[in-house]
């Protein structure tokens, strides 16, 4: 006996119950006026990418000081500093590449440009890590990797740093 194909579900079949938010689903979306868009942008200032690079460097320096204090050896601190450098220097290179004037015609081209610089950043980081055993002697991999990971995690905090512009309306 052949199986029957299931009937396609209607969009309303997914709703468990109507809420106050559901009542607004059918309202058309109104585009912002120029003044509304400017007020929205003014309330959300852009994050400086150089501030991110500086924060990565500060976290790397802090990890190096803690590694030195914990181990008492300068080679461990140097390893941590090199791990921070393996993240911070490629990030700075990417910021330089992305901050230059560009004639990108659309969002897709800008995304491609970002992706290209991200690959440059990753390649530079991998290259620096491959050079680590030759440049930092003796090398402490745990210290290097701790600084590397903590400096990379600074990127996740970037959204928390976005301050709000204080309104003059109050």
Which residues touch 139 (CB under 8 Å, ≥6 apart)?
Answer: 75, 79, 82, 132, 133
Q: What is the pLDDT of residue 32?
A: 83
Which residues touch 78 (CB under 8 Å, ≥6 apart)?
Answer: 64, 136
Rounded to whole angstroms, the Cα distance separating 56 from 59 reads: 5
Residue 6: is its pLDDT beyond 80?
no
Q: What is the pLDDT of residue 13?
A: 54
Q: What is the pLDDT of residue 101?
A: 74
Which residues touch 81 (CB under 8 Å, ≥6 apart)?
Answer: 60, 61, 64, 147
Give the three-state DSSP class for 8.
coil
Residue 14: is its pLDDT beyond 70?
no
Q: What angle do CA 66, 68, 73 make, to 5 degrees?
A: 160
| Single pTM value for the model | 0.69
Sign of CA dihedral 142, 143, 145, 151: positive
> Per-residue pLDDT averaged across 84-88, rounded?
97
Report CA dihedral (123, 126, 128, 132) to the nearest 10 degrees.
-170
Residue 169: is its pLDDT beyond 50?
no
Rounded to whole angstroms, the Cα distance separating 96 from 38 reads: 27
Q: What is the pLDDT of residue 165?
A: 45
Average pLDDT, the chain: 83
> Per-residue pLDDT averaged across 28-40, rounded?
85
> Per-residue pLDDT averaged across 101-126, rounded?
88
The answer to whether the beta carbons of residues 113 and 102 sit under 8 Å apart is yes
Rounded to whole angstroms, the Cα distance separating 166 from 158 reads: 19
Give 151 or 42, the one with higher predicted confidence. 151
Task: Tell me the Cα Rg of the chain.
Answer: 25
pLDDT in tens, 139-158: 999 999 999 999 999 988 77
């Amino acid at each position: 006996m052949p199986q029957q194909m299931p009937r396609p579900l209607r969009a309303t079949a997914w709703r468990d119950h109507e809420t106050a938010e559901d009542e607004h689903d059918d309202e058309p979306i109104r585009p912002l006026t120029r003044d509304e868009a400017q007020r929205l942008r003014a309330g959300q200032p852009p994050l400086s990418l150089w501030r991110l690079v500086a924060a990565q460097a500060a976290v790397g320096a802090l990890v190096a000081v803690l590694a030195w204090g914990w181990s008492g050896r300068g080679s461990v601190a140097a390893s941590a500093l090199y791990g921070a450098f393996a993240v911070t220097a490629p990030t700075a290179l990417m910021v330089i590449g992305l901050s230059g004037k560009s004639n990108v015609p659309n969002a897709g081209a800008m995304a491609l440009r970002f992706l290209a610089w991200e690959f440059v950043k990753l390649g530079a980081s991998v290259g620096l890590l491959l050079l680590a055993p030759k440049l930092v002697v003796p090398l402490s991999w745990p210290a290097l990797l701790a600084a590397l990971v903590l400096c990379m995690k600074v990127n996740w905090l970037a959204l928390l740093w976005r301050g709000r512009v204080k309104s003059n309306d109050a």
